[in-house]
């Protein structure tokens, strides 16, 4: 039983891959926050804290379903600190976000997933896929294109820190994406005893690296 987090830029195919994966394997998909619940009428720091708490909820769902299914797939990272690292945050500092997650880690209210899979594609290809998909508006599409290079650098760093932890795959077809997920999960490092160390090293990376 494996909890896998899929990441990548908008239109790379995460959600489609999740849906198809669940038709082929005993898998439960935990969608992004926006598909789980409607955001309340909050602003600023209160809204940011609400969003962080929803990541804890997403993890609780993943943990519970992991007892019942061979795979649980998180459509998007529960530890999305890299997003604030790339774009900055006017409401919560990096330290505030890191302290929130560190406390939850120590209380076993959240954990690192068993595996990460990062899908990527060329910018022209992502734009083409966006135009072909009329089911979603993708309002922040152009903004999210800016995250491709720094996100790739971050996940390469994480894979150097924990060899074999992140599967980085060029997303060309859904079938190949699914094959990559399954193959990647065949041999994964045991990260459970290193979670706090890995988390702190990641925060150090954010603090010392320009996105």
pLDDT of residue 134: 64
Question: Cβ–Cβ contacts within 10 Å for residue 113, how many?
Answer: 23
For Cα atoms 108, 111, 115, give the angle at the middle one, nearest 5 degrees. Answer: 160
Task: Give phi and psi for 146, each to the nearest 5.
Answer: -70, -15
Rounded-to-integer distance, Cα 93 and Cα 30, Å: 27
pLDDT of residue 145: 86
The alpha carbon dihedral of 193, 194, 197, 199 has a sign of negative
pLDDT of residue 138: 66
Question: Cβ–Cβ contacts within 10 Å for residue 206, how many?
Answer: 18
For Cα atoms 23, 19, 130, give the angle at the middle one, nearest 5 degrees. Answer: 145
- CA diameter of the chain: 44
Contact 1, 70 (CB under 8 A): yes
pLDDT of residue 42: 73
- Three-state SS for 142? helix
Q: Retrieve residue 59's tokens.
A: 């993890």
Q: Retrieve residue 130's tokens.
A: 């966006």
Expressed as residue numbers, the domain containing 154 is 2-208
Give the whole-number percent of the chain exceeding pLDDT 90. Answer: 64
Total domain count, the chain: 1
Q: Residues of the chain whose pLDDT is less than 50?
A: none
pLDDT of residue 113: 97
Q: Retrieve residue 165's tokens.
A: 């932890």
Q: Retrieve residue 180's tokens.
A: 């990559």
- Three-state SS for 115? strand
Q: For the domain that residue 137 is a member of, what is the CATH number?
A: 3.40.50.300
Rounded-to-integer distance, Cα 129 and Cα 11, Å: 6
Tens of pLDDT along 186-197? 999 999 999 999
């Amino acid at each position: 039983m494996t909890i896998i987090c899929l990441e990548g830029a908008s239109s790379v195919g995460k959600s489609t891959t999740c849906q198809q994966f669940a038709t082929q394997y005993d898998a439960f998909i935990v969608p992004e926050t926006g598909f789980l619940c409607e955001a309340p009428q909050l602003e600023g720091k209160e809204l940011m804290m609400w969003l962080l708490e929803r990541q804890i909820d997403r993890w609780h769902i993943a943990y519970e379903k992991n007892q019942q299914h061979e795979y649980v797939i998180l459509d998007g990272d529960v530890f999305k600190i890299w997003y604030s690292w790339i774009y900055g945050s006017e409401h919560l500092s990096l330290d505030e976000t890191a302290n929130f997650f560190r406390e939850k880690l120590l209380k076993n209210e959240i954990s690192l997933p068993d595996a990460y899979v990062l899908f990527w594609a060329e910018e022209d290809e992502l734009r083409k896929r966006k135009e072909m998909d009329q089911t979603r508006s993708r309002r922040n599409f152009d903004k999210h294109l800016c995250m491709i290079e720094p996100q790739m650098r971050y996940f390469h760093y994480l894979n150097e820190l924990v060899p074999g932890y992140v599967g980085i795959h060029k997303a060309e077809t859904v079938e190949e994406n699914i094959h990559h997920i399954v193959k990647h999960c065949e041999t994964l490092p045991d990260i459970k005893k290193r979670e706090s160390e890995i988390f702190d090293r990641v925060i150090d990376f954010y603090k010392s690296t320009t996105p």
